[in-house]
Amino acid sequence: MDTNSEMHTHSNFYAMLTAACQKNSKGTVIFNDKEKISYSSLKREVETVAAYLQHEGVQYGDKVALVVSNSPEFITAYFAITSIGAVAVPLNVFLKSEEFSYILNDCGARFMFASASLAKELKNIKAKTKVNKIIWIGETKAASSDDSYFDAARTFPGKPNLSRQPSANNLAHIIYTSGTTGHPKGALISYSNLFSNLSGIEQIFQISQKDRFVVFLPMFHSFTLTAMVLLPIYQACSIILVKSVFPFSNVLKQVLLKRATIFLGVPAIYTAMSKTKIPWYFRWFNRVRLFISGGAPLAGQTIDDFKAKFPRAKLLEGYGLSECSPVVAVNTP
C-alpha cells in the first residue's frame, strides 16, 4: 500500500473515520469488556454528539476540553469535537483542581466533557474558568446548566452540519506538556502533524486490518492517543479497551481473550513482566506480535529478560515528545 497517498486522502479525522467505515463497517472498532462497538455505530454516535455540540453553540475553532478516563466515550467525544472543526483539549485526569483551572483558562475552553468519577476535583471549576457547560459521562448530580453525555449521545435528534470540515493545516488538538519548568504549556498539533506521524508509525509496524491494539495506558497522553487510538482507526482495525492497569492480571487476561496483537507499555511494565511469574498458557497462546515501550529508557537487562521470557515477540523502544505528535523514533522490527 502506498501510505503517502493514503495519508493525503484524509485532511481530518471525520474523513478518516468515514473511510474506515467504508472499509470495515461491521468490524469491531472497540472491544469494551463484553461490549463490541462497530465502526458504523461509532460513526453514528459521533454524528449525534457532534449535532448536540453544534446545537449547544460550539463553533468551528472553539476549544473543547476532555477530562475523561479511558472509555468509548473519550473516543466518541474526541471525534465529535474534531468533526465540527472544534479543537480537542485532552487533560491529564490525575491533575488537581488548580491545575485543571490553569489549563482551562489558558486554552479558553467554554465546554468540557468530564467523567463523573472526577466530579469532586472539578467541583467549583465553572466559578474559576470560562467553562459554562460540562457534559458528564456517568452518574453524577449535575448542575441544571450541565448535561448528561448519555442523553446527548442517545436521544439528541437531528444531524450535524459537517459542510465545513477542518483542513490538514488546522489545529486538531492541544496537548499540555507536563510543565517541568513553571506552568504546563499547550503544544498545538495540526491534522498534518498527526497524519504524518500515523503514516510513519504504520509503515514501521506494518499495521493491517487484522491487528488489535490493547489500550490500558491513559488516552489523554499523546503517545496513547496517537499510537493506540488514532492509528487503529486510521487502519480500520480494533482497540481493546482495558479501564485500568490494575490489577495487571486483568490486562493479560484481556490480551489473551481478545487476541491482542499490539501492546503498548512503559518500561516499568516490561520490567515487571520480565520478573513476575507469567502463566505458561499466556506465554504460549498470546497473539502479541509487537510489544512497544515508550515514556522512559528501557534497561538493557529488561530487554534481555523479556526476550528470554517471550522469544516469539518483538519488544520495540520508541522515543517521542508531545510537541512532535509525539513519535520521533522507534526501533524497527
On whether both 261 and 326 belong to a single domain, the answer is yes
Residues 222 and 121 in one domain: no
Residue 238 and residue 318 in one domain: yes
Do 204 and 124 share a domain, yes or no?
A: no
Q: Which three cell numbers stand for residue 36?
A: 463490541
Q: Which of 58-72, 179-193, 234-248, 262-276 has the highest mean pLDDT?
A: 58-72
Q: Name, in order, each residue with C-beta under 8 angstroms of 138's C-beta and a sequence gap of 6 or more.
A: 115, 116, 117, 149
Percentage of the chain lying above the pLDDT 90 cut: 84
The number of folded domains in the chain is: 2
160 located within any domain: yes
Q: Which three cell numbers stand for residue 227?
A: 499510537
Domain that holds residue 321: 191-330
Do 101 and 181 fall into the same domain?
yes
Whether 177 and 207 map to the same domain: the answer is no
Q: What is the CATH number of the domain that holds 271?
A: 3.40.50.980
Residue 207 lies in a domain: yes
Give percent above pLDDT 70 in the chain: 97
28 three-state secondary structure:
strand
Section 195-215 average pLDDT: 96
Average pLDDT for 82-109: 97
Q: Does 3 score more than 80 pLDDT?
A: no
Chosen domain end from 141, 166, 190: 190
Residue 309 lies in a domain: yes
Statement to judge: residues 152 and 228 lie in one domain: no
pLDDT reading at 102 higher than 50: yes
Q: Are residues 201 and 63 part of one domain?
A: no
**Alpha carbon separation from 233 to 56, 201, 227, 311, 315 (Å, rounded):** 27, 13, 10, 29, 23
Please, are residues 204 and 332 in contact by the beta-carbon 8 Å criterion? yes
Q: Do 201 and 160 reside in the same domain of the chain?
A: no
Contacts of 127 (CB under 8 A, 6+ apart): none
Residue showing cell 490553569: 102
pLDDT at 330 over 70: yes
Number of CB atoms found within 10 A of residue 188's CB: 14
On the question of pLDDT at 7 being above 60, the answer is no
Mean pLDDT of the chain, nearest integer = 94
Residue bearing cell 467525544? 77
Chain segment 11-33, per-residue pLDDT in tens:
999 999 999 999 999 999 999 99
For the stretch 116-161, pLDDT in tens is: 999 999 999 999 999 999 999 998 877 788 999 999 898 888 899 9
Q: Given 190, 206, 241, which residue is the final one in a domain? A: 190
Q: Are residues 168 and 201 in the same domain?
A: no
**Is 121 inside a domain boundary?**
yes
Model pLDDT for residues 239-295, shown as the tens digit of each residue: 999 988 888 899 999 999 999 999 999 999 999 999 888 888 998 899 999 999 998
2 is a domain residue: no
> Domain check: are 77 and 121 in the same one?
yes
